Chain A
């Protein structure tokens, strides 16, 4: 299975506004991420807030530019494209956003929202109404809603509009940035089921960004665990047992909806380091139960452990 999207050494720094009497501080939001996203599969990115997963998603789509490193889509290095060529390229790679409430222009009807992609890409539609109906039924929306404004829809319906808009130009690659995080649980499952069906029917490739392990385990093929901007472990199958202590802590922190599988939570000592001032060694060392002096001084590199499984840890567990 070849890679549709390849990331090589992708890095992004953010700096706080340097100004009068203010020192400039640099934070590395995404640090040296190298990753292949196989065609027709779902790659999950898990991590906690501030781990850089959303920044990674935007870097992949070049919604923000990389400080260094490259993104290759279908053998084209996106960094070499002119702004105009990049705009054309965008029809192939779309995004579904976390917050459906602000993802649609409040002054646009659903109809106008779903036809905007064709206007933007200067793709005339022979039959706009037919395409509109097709898109809406594809995501399970009643076509009667076409004349509605977003404030007349529920959160779940808005997210369906967001998905339909992303699909309008027939892309092959979608970045899903926590697409269900702001929805009710019963609606979340609907949306995941919808995304799952679309992926299967249209042969899409997904980069699924989430903090929810149960969803990632259910939905994804390959899983990437991030901590403080770095990839700490790549699991070729979502249900594989992680070996990185942080990935294990994440798994152990996830509660199953099953009272017979209650967990004894280990209280992690230590605080999360400031992203502006990362320690020289492993970023997790201060909280890690297995940390040794080596972990505090040397940063572990991401290395292949077995086929497809990569880990960045001096002392992999279990």
Chain B
């Protein structure tokens, strides 16, 4: 059974509806990739699951978020607080926003297990150092006493991951966790997360715009475009035989290892913002396979052998 089931999720901010009918499942021991370009709604989805939409003046307008059998939509703030950090943890893009610059990093990790696991101080410290070692942070005993500014970006992001793990959560949502980091460091953080998910039977939702990271790390992928799910499938199927033209074009945007010169195309047009979402299928103005119906009606989501796709090309004609 899925640990997290999001179905028909819609989000409104004021009069805007930046997220529409989003459905997916996250399973234990698996990494789910949430892929999309700017304005696709991937971070908004994470905020909805974390119950943080209120901070930006948004709210869930439809659908449900089931976490371990519990409905999160409409959950009271106090109940959400018990869930956040303890059972669902967030790793954000910029490690600096998650770390308090004037508190020793050890104390910041300790605090999580003191608060959520009610450990004693020495036990919390031992747990933090153990976590740091698991994340292959060298010289964990010394760094436990260091301040955030003494660490490199990659090391800080490992500390943030350690904090996320400290309460032993079931679900981690990582929002572009490596985007601000250098490639060699990114590769290592991704590797560490893949190992963690296997070792601890975690569910991880990895939000990214990088198809390389998706191919490397994810078990399943949800492709978002302009606030809707274009396609969802296993990573293998998404890359081997993408159903949605957007998915296919997106993969085509990254030159492959032996791509001949002059064959890179890109997707024409621009990524639409929430103020000018096109009618019908939101991808149709940029789609090479667009038909007349695409401009008129929203494509229904149809099941595929291992996933689903929202495209008129794959509509089942009855």
Do A's and B's CB atoms come within 8 Å in the complex? yes
Say whether A189 contacts B265, CB under 8 Å.
yes
Please judge, given known A-B contacts A185-B250, A189-B265, whether A214 and B212 are in contact too, CB under 8 Å: yes
Say whether B187 contacts A255, CB under 8 Å.
yes
A175-201 toward B: CB 8 Å interface, digit per residue (1/0)?
000000000111111111100110010
Please judge, given known A-B contacts A190-B267, A257-B211, A257-B256, whether A185 and B262 are in contact too, CB under 8 Å: no
Q: Which residue of B lies closest to A140 (CB)?
A: B268
Please judge, given known A-B contacts A196-B261, A265-B190, whether A249 and B184 are in contact too, CB under 8 Å: yes
Select A256's contact among B184, B250, B257, B286, beta carbons within 8 Å. Answer: B257
Select B255's contact among A197, A215, A252, A262, beta carbons within 8 Å. Answer: A215
Say whether A265 contacts B187, CB under 8 Å.
yes
Please judge, given known A-B contacts A196-B262, A259-B235, whether A185 and B212 are in contact too, CB under 8 Å: no
Please judge, given known A-B contacts A189-B265, A256-B257, A262-B215, whether A157 and B182 are in contact too, CB under 8 Å: no
The stretch of A94-102, A108-116, A268-276, A297-305 in contact with B is A268-276
Question: Once the chains are docked, how many angstroms separate the CA of A211 from the CA of B250?
Answer: 20
Please judge, given known A-B contacts A253-B184, A257-B215, A271-B152, whether A217 and B264 are in contact too, CB under 8 Å: no
Chain A nearest CB from B178 CB (Å) reads 10
Chain B nearest CB from A229 CB (Å) reads 15
Please judge, given known A-B contacts A250-B184, A267-B188, A268-B188, whether A239 and B264 are in contact too, CB under 8 Å: no
B195-214 toward A: CB 8 Å interface, digit per residue (1/0)?
00000000000000111111
Question: Once the chains are docked, how many angstroms separate the CA of A197 from the CA of B261?
Answer: 10
Question: Once the chains are docked, how many angstroms separate the CA of A252 from the CA of B191?
Answer: 12
DSSP majority for the A interface?
A: helix
Within 8 A of A (CB), among B225-270: 235-236, 239, 249-259, 261-262, 264-268, 270
- For B304, list chain A residues within 8 Å (CB): none
Question: Once the chains are docked, how many angstroms separate the CA of A269 from the CA of B271?
Answer: 40
Select B250's contact among A186, A261, A267, beta carbons within 8 Å. Answer: A186
Q: Is A213 an interface residue (CB 8 A)?
A: yes
Say whether A267 contacts B216, CB under 8 Å.
no
Within 8 A of B (CB), among A254-307: 254-265, 267-272
Chain A nearest CB from B36 CB (Å) reads 9
Say whether A187 contacts B256, CB under 8 Å.
no
- Give the interface residue-count category, chain B: 35 or more
Q: Which residue of A lies closest to B254 (CB)?
A: A257
Say whether A214 contacts B254, CB under 8 Å.
yes
- For A52, list chain B residues within 8 Å (CB): none
Say whether B183 contacts A48, CB under 8 Å.
yes
Chain B nearest CB from A254 CB (Å) reads 6
Select A157's contact among B188, B259, B270, beta carbons within 8 Å. Answer: B270
Say whether B264 contacts A218, CB under 8 Å.
yes
Question: Once the chains are docked, how many angstroms separate the CA of A197 from the CA of B37?
Answer: 25
Chain B nearest CB from A132 CB (Å) reads 22
Q: Is A148 an interface residue (CB 8 A)?
A: no
Say whether B270 contacts A156, CB under 8 Å.
yes
Q: Is A154 an interface residue (CB 8 A)?
A: yes
- For A211, list chain B residues within 8 Å (CB): 182-183
Select B271's contact among A186, A189, A252, A254, beta carbons within 8 Å. Answer: A186
- For B209, list chain A residues within 8 Å (CB): 184-185
Q: Is A241 an interface residue (CB 8 A)?
A: no
Q: Is A67 an interface residue (CB 8 A)?
A: no
Say whether B239 contacts A254, CB under 8 Å.
no
Question: Once the chains are docked, how many angstroms separate the CA of A264 from the CA of B192?
Answer: 11
Chain B nearest CB from A183 CB (Å) reads 9
Chain A interface, number of residues (Cβ within 8 angstroms): 48
- For A193, list chain B residues within 8 Å (CB): 264-266
Chain B nearest CB from A291 CB (Å) reads 16
Say whether A253 contacts B267, CB under 8 Å.
no
Question: Once the chains are docked, how many angstroms separate the CA of A265 from the CA of B214?
Answer: 15
Please judge, given known A-B contacts A259-B235, A259-B239, whether A218 and B215 are in contact too, CB under 8 Å: no
Question: Once the chains are docked, how many angstroms separate the CA of A197 from the CA of B255?
Answer: 16
- For A190, list chain B residues within 8 Å (CB): 265-268
Q: Is B138 an interface residue (CB 8 A)?
A: yes
Q: Is A121 an interface residue (CB 8 A)?
A: no
- For B256, list chain A residues within 8 Å (CB): 214, 256-258
- For B145, list chain A residues within 8 Å (CB): none
Q: Which residue of B lies closest to A49 (CB)?
A: B182
Select A265's contact among B182, B191, B250, B251, beta carbons within 8 Å. Answer: B191
Select B257's contact among A217, A219, A263, beta carbons within 8 Å. Answer: A217
Question: Once the chains are docked, how many angstroms separate the CA of A272 from the CA of B153?
Answer: 11
- For A260, list chain B residues within 8 Å (CB): 236, 239
Question: Once the chains are docked, how many angstroms separate the CA of A191 from the CA of B138?
Answer: 41
Question: Once the chains are docked, how many angstroms separate the CA of A215 from the CA of B261?
Answer: 11
Question: Once the chains are docked, how many angstroms separate the CA of A239 from the CA of B256?
Answer: 12
B113-144 toward A: CB 8 Å interface, digit per residue (1/0)?
00000000000000000000000101000000
Question: Once the chains are docked, how many angstroms separate the CA of A189 from the CA of B270?
Answer: 12
Please judge, given known A-B contacts A185-B211, A250-B184, A265-B191, whether A218 and B261 are in contact too, CB under 8 Å: yes
Question: Once the chains are docked, how many angstroms separate the CA of A21 from the CA of B38?
Answer: 46
Q: Is B186 an interface residue (CB 8 A)?
A: yes
Known: A186-B253, A211-B182. 19 other contacts (CB 8 A): A185-B210, A185-B211, A186-B37, A186-B250, A196-B262, A214-B257, A218-B264, A249-B184, A250-B184, A253-B184, A255-B187, A255-B190, A255-B210, A256-B257, A257-B214, A259-B215, A260-B239, A267-B136, A269-B138
Tell me the B residues contacting A by CB distance below 8 Å: 37-38, 136, 138, 152, 155, 182-188, 190-192, 209-216, 235-236, 239, 249-259, 261-262, 264-268, 270-271, 286
Tell me the A residues contacting B by CB distance below 8 Å: 48-49, 154, 156-157, 184-193, 196-197, 200, 211, 213-215, 217-219, 239, 249-250, 252-265, 267-272
9 A-B pairs with C-beta separation under 8 A: A48-B185, A186-B253, A187-B271, A190-B268, A196-B264, A219-B261, A257-B254, A261-B215, A269-B138
